[in-house]
Amino acid sequence: MIKISDIVRIGPVIPVLAFDSVDEGEAVCRALYEGGVKVLEITLRTEAGLGVIERASKIADDIVVGVGTITKPEQAAASRRAGAQFGVSPGLTRALHEAAVDAGLPLLPGCMTPTDLVHAIALGYETVKFFPAQQAGGVPMLNAFHGPFPTLRFCPTGGISPETAPNFLALPNVVCVGGSWMTPKAAVAAKDWAEITRLARAASQLGHHAAKAA
């Protein structure tokens, strides 16, 4: 079972994805993989989520498909059965944590406040999602967290763009970022998979900080 600490170091950006249909999702995931993006977060914000996870996980041996927006304990087992290799949640409860452990689904839990971080550390987490990153204080907030939480590593997600991503990636406690800019609605609607591959390739070259605090 691959660990979250390894998953977040595979590439600098994890795309956050939601799809209207399974076929659309598979096509977009293939386009992203073609551009060098090997870690995907496919959210359960639409009914197509589990079906896309099942298809995307079979695209290649080295693709790592995760499930996003886990808010209910029962979603962990269902996602694992569909082929998800990790989970991402917008927040963290003991019930979500225990469900993920029981399902064998490594979890990247969402945290926003110091209390959230203390709770995550108490449950054994070393890597968390800072969400919603831009709205919750962005780079200055993550800088402030580094002092009291020197060993914690973050994947900031929410409101991040290709222009601001390098500012986050330059921080010593950030290992990758999450973003949705690689799949603009117009490109998906037009089935412009080449554009998505282009954006994925550019995101993959933002600079990977795998060596940080390793």
Supply the residues annotated as catalytic.
41, 129
CA–CA distance, 144 with 136 (Å, rounded to integer) = 12
**H helix runs in the chain, sequence order:** 4-7, 22-34, 49-56, 74-82, 94-103, 114-122, 138-146, 165-169, 185-189, 193-204
Please give the structure tokens belonging to residue 173.
């406690």
191 three-state secondary structure: coil
Residue type, 1: M
CA–CA distance, 126 with 50 (Å, rounded to integer) = 27
Q: Edge to edge, what strands does the sheet with 127-130 contain?
A: 153-156, 127-130, 107-111, 86-89, 64-68, 39-43, 13-17, 177-179
Say what angle helices 49-56 and 22-34 make with each other, to 10 degrees: 40
Q: What angle do CA 194, 198, 202 make, to 5 degrees?
A: 170
CB atoms within 10 A of CB 6: 13
